A and B are shown apart, each in its own frame.
Chain A
C-alpha cells in the first residue's frame, strides 16, 4: 500500500483530478451517480413497455399499483442489505428470514383464531418484527462473537431459517388467515397507493434520514470503509454490527408481514432468491459490495428496475423468466461501468 501511494506521489500528474471531482457542482454529482442512471433506465423501460403493451396497459394506475405492491417487500430487503453492505457486511439470509417471520406470524395468528382485525394485525406485526429482529441479531452475534465472516454466517442461517420455517409450517403453506388482513392492509390502496408500498417507502425515507443525518450513518460507513480506524476512533464496533444486523432483520420481518397480508397465506417455495435479488438491486443502484459506499436512492431505482422488468414482460406477454436474464446482464453492466467511471476504480488500477 505504501509503495502504491509513493508511485502516485512521485508522479504528480495523475494524482490531481480526483480532488476536484467532488468539489464540482452538486447537480453534476447527482447526474453522474449510478442511481440516477438507473432511474433513467427505469423511465425508459416504463415508456417502452407502455408503448408495446396492448392499449398502453402498462401505464395505467392499476399497473402502477401492482408495481408498487410488488416493489414493497423487495425495497425493504434492498434497503436493509444496502446498509449492511455499507458497513462491510452481507446478509444472505434475508429471504428465509422473511419466510420464517411470515410463517411464525401466520401460525400464531391462526392458532389464536384472531378474528378481529385489530388483534390479528397487531399480533402479526409484532411477531413478524420480533422474529425478523431475532434472526438478524443471531446473525450479528455469530459474526461478532464467533468471528465467522458474515458471508458464511448468513449462508448458514439462510438454510437454518428456511428449515425452521418449513418445520414450523409442517411442510405445507399456512392458510386460513383472516381476510381483513388482506382487505384492510395487504391489498388496500389509499390515495391510489397500496398501503404496503406506502409503508416500505416510509421505511426507506426514514432510513435515508438515519443514514444521512445521524451519527449512526456516519459510523456505519466508517465500519465498512476502514474497520481498524473505526475501532481506534473508539467506536464499539461489535455492538454497532449486532444492532445493524438486528435492524436489517427487522426489515425482513416487516417484509414477511407484508407478504402475509398480501396473499393471506405463507409462501414456502417463493422466497429463496429474495435475499440475492435484494443484493442485486442494491448493487445495481451503486452500493459497493466491499463496504464504505451506500446509495439509498440507487436502492429504489435498482428495485424498481427489477420490478418494472418483471411486470412489464408479463404485460407484453413474454415469459417473466426473461427478467432474470435481463437483470443479470444489467448487474454486470452496471458494476463494470461503475468501476470504469470511478477514480481509483478498475481503469486507474490498470493504468497504475
Chain B
C-alpha cells in the first residue's frame, strides 16, 4: 500500500485523551487510518487499547481531542454514528445471534423487504438477502455450508469469518477488529488473517487490536503500540521488528538492554 500515504486518512484521531475518574486511560493519542492499509494495534493489558477502540467505534467519547474524517471533524455518540461515517466494528464476542441463520445475522436490523405489496406487512425477502449474503461471502472467498444454516452450527473460524464479512458488507471506509484470532486455533487464525488482507485489498482501512503479535505482524502494514495510554511506538512494518514491538509494549528500553549485556 505504498500509495496509501499520499491520500487523506479516512479516519484520524487528533490528540485524544480519556480519563475514568483519576485513571488516565488515554493521553494525547493521535493516529491515522488509510484506506487499504492494515494497522496493528498492540499493547499490554490496561495500555488503553480497548478505550481507544471504544472511542473510534462510538461506544465512548474522548474527553480531549477529536476525530476527523475527510469530511471534517466528527463526534461519534453511538455505534450507529460510527457506521454512518462508514466504520464498522468486529467485536471480540462477534455479536452474532446463534439461533439465527447466516443470512439473518448478516441483515439483522437492516432486513431487505419484499419488493411487492408484501413489504407493507414488513415481510422480508430471504431470497434476496441470501443472494447478497452469498455474494458478500464469495467476494471474500469465505466458504460456508449454506447461508441458511444457523450460526450455532458453524465452527469458531466460520463464525469469525461471518462477523468480518458482515462488518465488511456494511462498511464503506474501514473496519475495527477486536482480537479477531483470540478464540481460534492455528489453521482458523491463518484463514481469518487472509480474510483481513482481502478486506483491506477491497480498499477498506483495517485496524486490528490483537495479542497475536507474530501472526498480525505478518499481515500488517503499520504498527502502533500503546503503553500507559500513550503511543509508545508507531512504525511501518518494514522499519520495525518483533523485538522492538514487544520492548515497546513492556517498556523495555534499549539502554536497559545495553546495561544487561
Q: Residues of A with Cβ closer than 8 Å to B?
A: 1-2, 5-6, 8-10, 15, 18-23, 213-216, 218-219, 221-222, 224-226, 228-230, 232-235, 291-293, 343-344
Nearest chain A CB to B91 CB, angstrom units: 7
* A221 and B95 form a contact (CB under 8 A): no
* B146 and A292 form a contact (CB under 8 A): no
Please classify the interface of chain A as helix (H, G, I), strand (E, B), loop, or mixed, using the class held by over half of its residues. Answer: helix
Bound CA span A218–B185, Å: 32
The answer to whether B212 has its CB under 8 Å from any CB of chain A is no
20 contacts between A and B (CB under 8 A): A5-B183, A6-B156, A6-B183, A8-B156, A9-B183, A9-B184, A9-B188, A19-B145, A22-B149, A23-B145, A213-B121, A218-B104, A218-B124, A219-B109, A221-B97, A221-B99, A221-B104, A229-B108, A235-B108, A235-B109
The answer to whether B100 has its CB under 8 Å from any CB of chain A is yes
* B100 and A232 form a contact (CB under 8 A): no
Chain B 114-146 interface 0/1 with A at a Cβ cutoff of 8 Å (1 = within): 000010011110000000000000000000011
The answer to whether B154 has its CB under 8 Å from any CB of chain A is yes
Bound CA span A18–B159, Å: 14
* B145 and A20 form a contact (CB under 8 A): yes
Nearest chain A CB to B101 CB, angstrom units: 9
Bound CA span A257–B79, Å: 45
Q: Residues of B with Cβ closer than 8 Å to A?
A: 79-80, 91, 93-100, 104-105, 108-111, 113, 118, 121-124, 145-146, 148-150, 152-157, 182-185, 188
Residues of B within 8 A of A344 (CB): 152
Residue of B nearest to A217 (CB): B124
Residues of A within 8 A of B123 (CB): 213-214
> Which residue of the partner chain, among A22, A216, A228, A293, contacts B95 with CB atoms under 8 Å?
A228
* B184 and A225 form a contact (CB under 8 A): no
* B99 and A343 form a contact (CB under 8 A): no
Bound CA span A10–B154, Å: 15
Residues of A within 8 A of B98 (CB): 225-226, 292
Bound CA span A292–B100, Å: 8
Q: A215-B111, A230-B108 are in contact. Are A19 and B97 (CB under 8 A)?
A: no
* B145 and A215 form a contact (CB under 8 A): no
Residue of A nearest to B158 (CB): A19
Max chain B CB contacts within 10 Å: which of A5, A9, A218? A218
Nearest chain A CB to B189 CB, angstrom units: 9
* A232 and B149 form a contact (CB under 8 A): no
* B182 and A2 form a contact (CB under 8 A): yes
* A230 and B97 form a contact (CB under 8 A): yes
Q: A225-B97, A234-B80 are in contact. Are A218 and B108 (CB under 8 A)?
A: yes
Q: A5-B183, A15-B155 are in contact. Are A228 and B111 (CB under 8 A)?
A: no
Q: A214-B122, A216-B122 are in contact. Are A224 and B99 (CB under 8 A)?
A: yes
* A221 and B100 form a contact (CB under 8 A): yes
